[in-house]
Chain A
Amino acid sequence: MDGIQRENGCLNTFCPIASVAWLHRKMKDSFFLIVGTHTCAHFIQTALDVMVYAHSRFGFAVLEESDLVAPSMTGELSSVIDEVVAEWNPKVIFVMTTCSVDILKMDLEVSCKEISKKLNFPVLLTSASGIDGIFTQGEDKVLKALLPFCPTVEEEEKEQSEERKSKWFFFNKEEEKPVEKPKVSNLVLVGAVTDGTAQQLQWELKKLGLDKVDVFPEGDLAKMPVINERTVVAPLQPYLNDTLATIRRERGATVLTTLFPIGPDGTAQFLKDICQHFQIDASRVEEREKQTWQELEPQLQMLRGKKIMFLGDNLLELPLARFLTACGVEIVELGTPYVHSKDMKAELETLLAKQVPIIEGPDFHLQLKRIQAYKPDLIVTGLALCNPLEAMGYRTAWSIEFTFAQIHGFVNAIDLIKMFTKPLRKWQALQEHGWN
Chain B
Amino acid sequence: MAARSRPLSPHLSIYRFTITMVVSIVHRITGIALYAGTVLLVGWLLAGAWGPVPLAYVNGFFAHWFGTLVLIGYTWALFQHLLGGVRYFFWDATAGMGAGQREAISWANVIGAVLLTVIAWSVYFMFRETASL
A, B in one complex: no
